[in-house]
């Protein structure tokens, strides 16, 4: 009689799953590589643009006590007044987008979910248009609060009607978008000034906003990031299905409630920081999932690093592709994200969402 030995070689054709140690080592390697990429993108954001600044001038501008520090120097003035605020905004907005995309895809189990799908971005846009048209708001810092309020209100409406059910959330978000879009168009058609103000905000950009925006909104971002970190293990269980998560001791309603709060805060903050940036919240979680798998305890920190890297990278590319001018970061990010959206829609996305 033939017997098999427990110590024998594995059966040919069966893949050996990676061990816990191998998964942890891969996660650490990916996270370090993502942080290195982010550091390179930050350096490029400070160095490159319509006016290229030498590394020595950037270093001197960032160190007030250094020998070469001279705020009156044109190169250093560009760094301090334009590129530092732009880089900080890109880091924070990208962080918010990476986190909110991860939470939305996790809680809805929808591979094409992002703030736009749930009607959050259109809600922010309507609030901005209404503020310009009826209240005469004309400054970026004024836009910020209305964008935040509009995004938050839209998210509250969607989650209240959708009862945190994945399919209902998507349907309610689509219905809200279908309602809001013609209202925005009607307001813009009747008010030329509102159209002129809105068109610069609507494309999504890191320009024309300063550190005063960061000072006003960073507490909201901090709350959203903390909630995202707390949700990571819960989203891993939720991705297996409501019944499985409940059987393992999780209160699914609490998870969805916390996720709703995180989405409201993060989506509102991201939109207020940079306008309606499209597809970053969609692309980043998919990239992270391909790199480290579908465990949200590993996926979330990687997405939190890749989000700012993608948004800042799009901003840097936008400065370089048009001579003596620039494309907004939202336009470049859409060019990058559109093929990913098509691939996901055709069924080539990663399993486990």
pLDDT (0 to 100) of residue 3? 47
Euclidean distance between CA atoms 148 and 153, whole angstroms:
9
Cα angle, residue 347 at apex, residues 343 and 350 outer, rounded to 5°? 85
* Residue pair 104/177 in contact by the 8 Å Cβ criterion: no
What's the mean pLDDT in 204-233?
A: 89
Residue range 93-343, CATH number: 1.10.3470.10
pLDDT at position 2:
46
Do 161 and 172 form a contact (C-beta atoms < 8 A)? Answer: yes
pLDDT in tens, 321-340: 887 788 888 889 888 877 87
Inform me whether the pLDDT recorded for 208 exceeds 90. Answer: no
pLDDT, tens digit, 9 for 90 and up, residues 115-154: 877 888 889 889 988 888 888 887 767 777 888 889 889 9
**Residue pLDDT, tens place only, 264-320:** 889 888 888 888 887 899 889 988 998 999 899 999 999 999 999 999 999 999 999
DSSP state of 139: S
The predicted model gives 179-191 an average pLDDT of: 88
Residues in the chain: 353
Residues 310, 340: Cα–Cα separation, whole Å: 14
Q: Rounded to whole angstroms, what are the CA distances from 155 to 168, 171, 218, 281?
A: 13, 13, 20, 15
Number of helical (H) and strand (E) elements in the chain, helices listed first: 14, 0
How do residues 226-255 score in pLDDT, each as one tens digit? 999 999 999 999 888 888 888 888 888 899
- pLDDT above 90: residue 19: no
Identify the CA nearest to 125 among candidates 64, 181, 208. Answer: 181
* pLDDT of the residue at 351: 40
Q: What is the pLDDT of residue 67?
A: 78
Phi/psi at 327 (nearest 5 deg)?
Answer: -95, 145
pTM: 0.87
Among 46, 57, 173, CA closest to 107: 173
Q: Give whichever of 2-16, 164-178, 292-306, 312-326 has the largest mean pLDDT.
A: 292-306
Domain ranges for the chain: 93-343
Residue 313 confidence (pLDDT) = 94
- Dihedral sign for Cα 187, 190, 194, 199, please: positive
The pLDDT assigned to 17 comes to 65
Distance CA 118, CA 124 (A): 12
The C-alpha atoms of residue 181 and residue 201 are separated, in whole angstroms, by 16
């Amino acid at each position: 009689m033939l017997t098999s030995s427990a110590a024998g070689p594995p059966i040919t054709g069966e893949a050996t799953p990676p061990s816990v140690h191998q998964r942890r080592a891969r996660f650490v390697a990916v996270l370090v590589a993502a942080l290195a990429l982010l550091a390179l993108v930050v350096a490029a954001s400070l160095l490159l643009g319509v006016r290229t600044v030498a590394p020595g001038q950037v270093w001197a501008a960032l160190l007030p006590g250094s020998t070469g520090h001279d705020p009156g120097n044109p190169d250093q003035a560009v760094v301090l007044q334009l590129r530092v605020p732009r880089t900080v905004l890109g880091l924070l907005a990208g962080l918010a987008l990476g986190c909110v995309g991860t939470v939305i895809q996790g809680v809805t189990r929808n591979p094409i979910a992002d703030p736009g799908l749930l009607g959050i971005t259109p809600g922010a846009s309507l609030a901005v248009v209404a503020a310009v048209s009826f209240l005469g708001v004309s400054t970026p810092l004024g836009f910020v609060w209305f964008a935040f309020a509009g995004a938050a209100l839209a998210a509250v409406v969607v989650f209240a009607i959708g009862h945190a059910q994945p399919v209902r959330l998507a349907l309610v978000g689509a219905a809200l978008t279908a309602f809001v879009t013609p209202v925005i168009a009607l307001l813009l058609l009747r008010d030329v000034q509102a159209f002129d103000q809105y068109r610069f905000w609507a494309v999504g950009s890191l320009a024309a906003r300063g550190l005063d925006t960061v000072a006003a909104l960073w507490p909201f971002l901090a709350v959203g990031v903390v909630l995202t970190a707390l949700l990571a293990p819960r989203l891993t269980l939720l991705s297996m299905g409501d019944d499985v998560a409940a059987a393992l001791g999780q209160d699914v309603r609490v998870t969805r409630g916390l996720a709703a709060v995180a989405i409201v805060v993060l989506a509102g903050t991201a939109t207020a920081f940079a306008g309606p940036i499209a597809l970053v919240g969609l692309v980043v979680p998919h990239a992270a999932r391909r790199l480290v798998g579908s465990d949200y305890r590993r996926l979330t920190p990687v997405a939190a690093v890749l989000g700012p890297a993608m948004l800042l990278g799009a901003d840097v590319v936008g400065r370089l592709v048009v001579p003596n001018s620039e494309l907004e970061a939202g336009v470049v990010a859409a060019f990058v994200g559109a093929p990913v959206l098509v691939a996901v829609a055709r069924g080539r996305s990663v399993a486990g969402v």
